[in-house]
Structures are given as structure tokens and as C-alpha cells.
Amino acid sequence: MDRKRCTLKLLVQPSRGLVDEMFIILVQKAPSGFQLTVHALHKCEDGHSWEAFGHYTADTIGTVNVSEDPSLGGTYSGVEQMGLLWSLRPVPGSKPGLRLRKMNVQIPMEVTISVYQGHQTEGFMDQVPLASVVVERWYMAPGVSRIPITEDRLSATLFLPPGPGPFPGLLDLWGGGGQLVEYRASLLASHGIASLALDYLTAKIIMETGKMVDLQYFEKAYKILEQHPQVHGSSIGMLGLSLGTSITLKMAAYSEVMKLRCAVCISGSHVQPVDGSMEDILKHFNKNADRTRVSEENEFIWRDLLLPVPSDLAFKVDMGRLKCPLLVVVGEDDQNWPASESAMDMKEMMEQAGNSHLLTVLSYPNAGHLIEPPYTPHARASLFRSMATREKMMALWGGETAAHSLAQEDAWRKLLVFLRENLYSGTNPGTPSLSHL
């Protein structure tokens, strides 16, 4: 087809929205039956570029609607409205082991959506597209406040929803990679929940003293939320992923200070020395390092380190002590933690204790360890720096891309419902901006 005669039109709505918001992509004014490739390109903050693409055929009136029409090939297939985001992958020639994570939540994730002639799989950077649109994907909604927290020697960031509040609160913990990871907390604040992202493995106090934080560190973080004038102090929950679940369950069951309204545990376990410190928990995991397996691609599999699930209550959280609702999210192909086996044991313990009515388990076939907010590109494996050895190695997280992405979407929707049901009851939620920019 002659490019000069092509008046093809590309529309993406909304062009500016939250990262968990769906968009509509319409291609119009193409010739009937025209074969085209819709392509997404994102250059992330570490300088690496990611792409995704789908192959489409225009209908009799020259239109492609990505929300309704099937991709015939590319990085995803079938009708997948958000496939151009969740199937993003490093461009050819990138170094192995990359994982796409937002570093600065105060600027958007920019994605260039383009249309190319024909069904193509490579060489996009060497061509001029028929049409292009840049879309912005935000973790922070307008009016969300970002407040660095350093008091009590904490390394944390508080995100407050727009409006006077008071808002329900949430303590947000990531896993064994450390660092202050803000993107989930900022997105939760965009949905009306005051969220405190907390670094507990690479915090400034650890760098200064050379010692791991104690459990009071988490209680101090809780008190920051509890005492904040824009937070409803009696309506605070806790969310942990991976190693963060170990802390979440320990504090929910044993802390005299933290009176949690609810807890969420994603891809983790209750197995740990119950009377142990943060350092003891890590040592307990590492003492079974000889159970590490390595895949044919030289990827490390750590899920066996906590197996079999012990019967000795000295080495697992007494789930019968739990007094608040608990949401457990499991990827059944998790190669990093024994999340499935742990969830089954937690359920048995709570049934025996008579508090299983507090437990909700979401279990997803073919989903891996890194269950993140919707449309986050799936990383089956990526480079990971062990907190114990400080070595970088390739960790196998697991999951099949389409199934894992579906799990992220479903789990996030149900997580938000769970938090609203348990944190908003009996509170004045203020005027949070729930989704739209």
C-alpha cells in the first residue's frame, strides 16, 4: 500500500490514566481487510526498552478495535484488551534477566502505541509507523501526596489520597530484594487508602548499624499511620508479598501494638521461627540452602527451602491466634516460595482453631511468584540480589505469561474489594479519588 495514500487514524482512550485502568485502542480508516501490526514501546527509567505487538486484520469498514478483535499473532493472541501492556518484553538484544519496575512514581510510564503495515515481528525501530500515539500510565492519581518518612529512623514513604480524610491506612511490604519500593503503595493511595511503603532490608538504619531491624521497627511504622491526623487510626491493614508475608503474619498474630483490621499475603508462607528476629527468619530460610534447585537455564529455584511445611508450632505462625480477616493470594506455579503448600496448611490450622471464617484464599493455576498490579509485564525469571550473600543470580519466579497476567488482574480487583470491605467499615473515608484521572 502506498504510504502517501494512507490516512489511517489511531485513537487510544484514555490517553492518560492509572496503570490499572483499561484503555481502548481503535484503528480507523484502514482499507478493508488491511493487515496491520499494533505495537507498544516503553523506555523505562533504567534505559532499557520494552515492546509488545499484536497482528490484526481490519474489518469491512477499515476498523480494528483491540478490545473486541483477536490478535492473530505477536506477543499475545486472541482478544486481549490490555495485551500490549502485560506482554511487554525487552527488545531484541537486551541483556537477560530484566524486570520492569517503576522507580519514580511522580512521573508517568509513557508508552508509544504505533501501527505498522503488515504482520511484522521485528525491525520496528527501523521503520516509520503509519500512526503513533503516546499514552501516560500513572501510579499516582492527581492530588495524591507523597511524603518521605524518616522519623524513628524509618526508611518509608507515605502516600495520602486527595481530600481531608481521615482515610483507612495500610502498611505495604515487599520481599527479599529490599529497597524502598513505592509503586504499589502509590496506586493504593490512588484508590483511597493511605499507604506506607516500608524498606526493612536495606534501610538507612541497617546501613549505619550493620544490624537487621527488629520487630519494633514495623510497630513504629504502624504507629506513624495510626497517629497521622489524616489516617483513621483504628482502620489499618497490612500487605506483604514474598518475605513481606512472613512479617505480616508474624505481626498480625503476635504483636501487642499492631491491631490490624485486615491482612493480605501474596506469594508467601507462615513458616518461620516464631520466636525469631528478622535475622533469625533469614537464617532459618538459608539453613536449607542445599535444597536449592537449578533449572536447565541456570535459574535458581528456592521453593523447597521451606518444605516440607513443619508440624512443630515453633517453626510456623500459629494461625489460630489470628483475629482479623486474611486474604492469601497464591500462584500455583510459584517456583520461589511454597505458597500453595503453605496456604493449605494455614487453612487446616485455622479450621482446627475455629477461625477459618477469617480466611480467603485466591489460588491461580499457571501463575508465578510475582503477582503485581494489573498489566505489569510478567517476568518468569529475572536477576535478583540475595540479601544473604549480596550475589546477583537469576531467580526463577514461575508462571505462564497469559495466565499470570489474568491472575494479576483478578487478584488486584478482589484485593481492592477486600480492603474496602474491611477497612472502610465504620470509618469516614473522606473523598478519595478511586480510579480516574
205, 155 in Cβ contact below 8 A? Answer: yes
Q: What is the DSSP code string of 399-411?
A: --HHHHHHHHHHH
CA distance 35 to 57: 5
State the amino acid at position 161 in one-letter form.
Answer: P
Q: How far is CA 339 from the centre of its chain?
A: 16
SS3 assignment, position 300: strand
> Which residues on adjacent β-strands are paired with residue 51?
41, 89
Beta-strand pair 231-241/167-173 = parallel
Rounded Cα distance between 206 and 214, Å, is 10
Strand 16-18 to 64-65 pairing: unpaired
Rounded CA-CA distance 430/428 in Å is 6
Distance, in Å, from the CA atom of 255 to the CA atom of 132, rounded to the nearest integer, reads: 53
Residue type, 209: T
Q: Which three cell numbers stand for residue 382?
A: 529475572
Q: How far apart are CA 19 and CA 17, in angstroms?
A: 6
Among all chains, which residue has been given the C-alpha cell 511487554? 88
Report how far apart, in Å, the C-alpha atoms of 400 and of each of 88, 324, 374 are.
14, 33, 15
Contact yes or no for 429/192 (Cβ under 8 A): yes
Nearest to 212 by CA among 290, 256, 276: 276
Q: Sheet containing 64-65: which strands, arranged edge to edge? A: 9-13, 24-28, 64-65
* Residue 313 per-residue DSSP state: G
State how far the Cα of 161 lies from the Cα of 232, in Å rounded to an integer.
Answer: 13
**C-alpha cell at position 181:** 519500593
Query: How many other CB atoms sit within 10 Å of the CB of residue 418?
Result: 21
Active-site residue numbers?
Answer: 242, 334, 369
